[in-house]
Copies of this chain bind each other. A is one copy, B any other.
Amino acid sequence: MSAPLAGSHLLPQINTRAVPEALLDALRQRFAGQFSTALVVREQHGRDESSFSLPPPAAVVFAHSTQDVADAVKLAAQFKVPVIPFGIGSSLEGHLLAVQGGISLDVSRMDQVLSINAEDLTVTVQPGVTRKALNEAVKSTGLFFPIDPGADATLGGMAATRASGTNAVRYGTMRDNVLALEVVTAQGEVIRTGTRAKKSSAGYDLTRLMVGSEGTLGVITEVTVKLYPLPEAVMAATCSFDSLADAVNTTILIIQLGIPIARCELLDGTTIRMVNQHSNLSLHEGAMLLMEFHGSPASVQEQVDTVQAIAADQGGQTFEWAKTPEERTRLWTARHNAYFAGIQSRPGCKAITTDTCVPISHLADALLDSVLEAQHSGLTYFLVGHVGDGNFHMGYLIDPDKPEERELAETLNQQLVRRALALGGTCTGEHGIGLHKMGFLVEETGAGAVAMMRAIKQALDPDNIMNPGKIFLL
């Protein structure tokens, strides 16, 4: 692979550890047809939605059960070989890349919904269940699972990266919605964290420690999450603005007034042009908020009235309503496809995606200057944002064969992150650190906090076999 990491100041050195034949033999014997060293399978498990390419893992194990996971980890631990948990491959920061070699542990076939406790508004699933499959499984109960990161990610992967997405402004993130986990530790032991009770003060919050640990502390083999009653009324609308600033300021006011809006997403004109082309739509190609309101009919009407008044005050045009569930689905599909619409607008390109999140009062400061910088750079970009949370993504579309474009995109990304940090924000609202943001993590939280993370990692995984080389280097 040609100079895969050229142009980035932030990526670690590759430090591939040997995978002994004896381990491969032992895995082959234990897992038979659930084990593969075929190049096509390994390559499929050696990449994600990031822009990086690295040599693939040495082998892939397809786990069907917690026991499979435990056995695979125990064998890998015996040989001190890295294990990289794999869900569906939709992460964005190189989480799945075999930067130190090792084996990929695919849990996508652990796809059973284990128990639906409708009367408690909870559900327990295996880690390979995707969010769409989960919602399909609970549909008849009148409940739903709101977390929606766009991709049809697995619940295990969503927990591991502390994912959120469009509905988080009302329903919170995976941090807030995971009640309990089953985890296979780096020693191959099976432990449980949390219970189905809504709250607890029973010892260290191991659930929250595992949520967002990016596979570096163990493999999540079971996830219990909260469900919510399907809202009695749902209304969705788009509103166009003359300027990005007006759209952003409308968002800030909505949040500061405490309006329980369910979704509040931003696209800019450039991105809408990409979405129109990709999804054959005819949305107005200016700054646009896409909003959704959940509640009782009266409460939804109250929210809508207030938000319309705020938007009008900020120069927003008339709301265009998606009146039927089908229209709403089309609208949100278009929003979710913005990433792919962006990628496809420049054939052969890769996206370097940013993910800062700032206190809502600083959203305009963080976003508008970053867009100006991108425009001045001449790079093609897209802009989508969970702006209700102060979180937005720019995607810089680079030709992976042109190191100067990657260099330029990384420079823009650095300027954007440093601006967000200076405003009291974070380098990653929902994608995680992975390979790509290790330097930013230190800038954000300080060497002392990262040293504490390292100490925890070393205590729980002394041989550094669980997805090594992610979040921080040891």
Show the binding face of A for B, using Cβ within 8 Å: 117, 119-122, 161-164, 168, 172-173, 175-176, 185, 189-193, 195-206, 208-209, 211-213, 217, 228-229, 255-258, 295-296, 298-299, 302, 355, 357-362, 389-391, 424-433, 437, 440-441, 444-446, 448-450, 452-453, 455-456, 458-460, 471-472
Residue of B nearest to A217 (CB): B204
- A117-B359, A200-B428 given; 4 more Cβ-contact pairs under 8 Å: A197-B359, A199-B389, A202-B441, A456-B460
**A121-B449 Cα distance, complex, nearest whole Å:** 25
Give the residue among A209, A213, A449, A455 with the most B Cβ atoms within 10 A. A449
Give the residue among A119, A191, A205, A448 with the most B Cβ atoms within 10 A. A205
| Contacting pair A449 B192 (CB below 8 A) | yes
| Contacting pair A426 B204 (CB below 8 A) | no
| Contacting pair B391 A199 (CB below 8 A) | yes
Q: Which 8 residue pairs of A and B lie closest in terms of their CB atoms, listed nearest first?
A: A459-B459, A208-B208, A191-B448, A229-B258, A119-B361, A200-B426, A120-B359, A197-B357
Contacts of A209 in B (CB 8 A): 204-205, 208-209, 456
Min Cβ gap A391→B in Å is 7
| Contacting pair A192 B256 (CB below 8 A) | no
Residue of B nearest to A179 (CB): B359
Min Cβ gap A331→B in Å is 23
**A328-B429 Cα distance, complex, nearest whole Å:** 39
| Contacting pair B204 A453 (CB below 8 A) | yes
Residue of B nearest to A391 (CB): B199
Min Cβ gap A306→B in Å is 9
Min Cβ gap A310→B in Å is 14
Q: List 16 A-B contacts (CB under 8 A).
A: A162-B199, A190-B448, A192-B445, A199-B429, A201-B430, A202-B426, A202-B444, A203-B212, A203-B471, A206-B453, A208-B208, A208-B209, A209-B209, A228-B258, A455-B460, A456-B459
**A258-B146 Cα distance, complex, nearest whole Å:** 14
| Contacting pair B122 A202 (CB below 8 A) | no
Contacts of A431 in B (CB 8 A): 201
| Contacting pair B453 A198 (CB below 8 A) | no
Residue of B nearest to A180 (CB): B424
**A358-B71 Cα distance, complex, nearest whole Å:** 33
Contacts of A452 in B (CB 8 A): 185, 191, 206, 460
Min Cβ gap A416→B in Å is 14
Contacts of A427 in B (CB 8 A): 202
Contacts of A445 in B (CB 8 A): 191-193, 202-203, 206
Task: Choose among B162, B202, B302, B450 the residue that contacts A205 (Cβ–Cβ < 8 A).
Answer: B162
Residue of B nearest to A386 (CB): B199
Task: Choose among B229, B298, B425, B446 the residue that contacts A302 (Cβ–Cβ < 8 A).
Answer: B298
Contacts of A302 in B (CB 8 A): 296, 298-299
Min Cβ gap A163→B in Å is 8
Min Cβ gap A422→B in Å is 11
| Contacting pair A203 B453 (CB below 8 A) | yes
**A196-B422 Cα distance, complex, nearest whole Å:** 11
| Contacting pair B450 A203 (CB below 8 A) | yes
Query: Given A298-B299, A426-B195, A455-B459, A120–B360 Cβ distance below 8 Å?
Result: yes
Contacts of A197 in B (CB 8 A): 357-359, 390-391, 424-426, 429
Query: Given A359-B122, A361-B120, A456-B456, A204–B213 Cβ distance below 8 Å?
Result: yes
| Contacting pair B441 A203 (CB below 8 A) | yes
**A212-B176 Cα distance, complex, nearest whole Å:** 15
Contacts of A450 in B (CB 8 A): 203
Min Cβ gap A215→B in Å is 12
| Contacting pair A175 B205 (CB below 8 A) | yes
| Contacting pair A199 B168 (CB below 8 A) | yes
Residue of B nearest to A200 (CB): B426
Contacts of A193 in B (CB 8 A): 445, 449
Contacts of A175 in B (CB 8 A): 199, 205, 208
Contacts of A358 in B (CB 8 A): 197
Query: Given A117-B361, A190-B448, A389–B198 Cβ distance below 8 Å?
Result: yes
